[in-house]
Amino acid sequence: MAQPSNVYVTYDARGLREDLENVIYDISPTETPFMSMGGRMDAIAVNHEWQTDALAAASGTNYHEEGSTLAASAATATTRLGNICQIAVKTKLVSGTLDAVSKAGRREELAYQMVKAAKELKRDMETSLVGVNQSKTAMSASSTIRKLGSLPAWVDTNVSEAGDASTPGNGTARTDGTTRSFTETLLKAAILTSYNNGADIKYLMMAPSQKQTFSSFVGVGASGGSSNRIEAADQRIIGGMDVYVSDFGEMAVVPNRFQRSRDVWLLDPEYYGVAYLRPFFQREVASTSDGEQRAMIAEYTLVVKNEKALGAVYDLS
């Protein structure tokens, strides 16, 4: 239908106000489950250290004759371990003009950018802890960048790994092996080894893709099949699991977007944490431009109090 003659429409008018919502929508994930579950500690040196110990193997031949001579058994020293503090930085520079003009969704641009920087820093830290296979790197020269040893560089006892893989541990990155499919058999083997070595696994942490594979472990009938189960009371079909009931207790299942998909972790948060030499703080940065610059900084490292309290299924496709 044609418009009437001489009708004045929005396309011809001037001075129309824009219709911009005063909200900024951002769904970027900020959950950092590994950091959130673990403990928080203080570091007072670049090389943060701790000690581990273990009891002698149980003996079934500890019997002696009456009046026997008492002989001291050999004592073993504790093991001293350490990880290197890594510096994480996010810096933002905002012009004076941008902070002065009227904006939608935020009042002060620099403040808004620093809130984003803090969230980005946490995501970077989670990735450094479980999203890479990284050896600790100590500062041997002024030009050397210090790096922490990530979780794959520590967990080397209670593991299921491909036959061609190497797991040196103690802060040295493992050698990734040929990938294989994630199966319940691999998971149960790692859980069994963990239990035999004294671990009390409370969480299974895995990438979202492995979480979907994991949900297929509990099937219907002897041959497995679909993982979906029906709740007869309200006819709901449930296709995922949040708790795994193992032979040695229940374990909560936690997906992590920032970890490597080739690793599945068996965790007891009591035995790992993050030590901060310098917790999150803002620093004003001198700027020669017409603007204000600030940095968000954290200096931290991973502490694996005793790697035998943790476990892993490595080398997954």
Per-residue pLDDT in tens (0 to 9) along the chain, 317 residues? 778 887 877 788 888 777 777 787 778 888 999 999 999 999 999 999 999 999 989 999 999 999 899 999 889 999 999 999 999 999 999 999 998 898 888 888 898 898 999 999 999 999 999 999 999 998 777 778 999 999 999 999 999 999 777 778 899 999 999 999 999 999 999 999 999 999 999 999 999 999 999 988 864 333 333 444 445 455 444 455 588 999 999 999 999 999 999 999 999 999 999 999 999 999 999 888 899 999 999 999 999 999 999 999 999 99
Q: Which two tokens stand for residue 16?
A: 């129309």
SS3 194: helix
**Count of C-beta atoms within a 10 Å radius of residue 217:** 16
| Model pLDDT, residue 5 | 82
| Model pLDDT, residue 225 | 39
| Model pLDDT, residue 223 | 36
CA-derived radius of gyration, the chain: 27
Q: Are 274 and 303 in contact (CB under 8 A)?
A: yes
Positive or negative torsion for Cα 178, 182, 186, 192: positive
Per the listing, tokens 């500062």 go with 139
The pTM assigned to this predicted structure is: 0.86
**Count of C-beta atoms within a 10 Å radius of residue 80:** 9
| Residue 128, amino acid | S
| Model pLDDT, residue 220 | 31
Q: Are 201 and 189 in contact (CB under 8 A)?
A: no
Q: For residues 252 and 258, what is the distance between their CA atoms, to the nearest angstrom? A: 18
Query: What number of CA atoms fall less than 13 Å from residue 42's CA on the CB side?
Result: 1
| Model pLDDT, residue 222 | 33
Positive or negative torsion for Cα 229, 235, 240, 246: negative
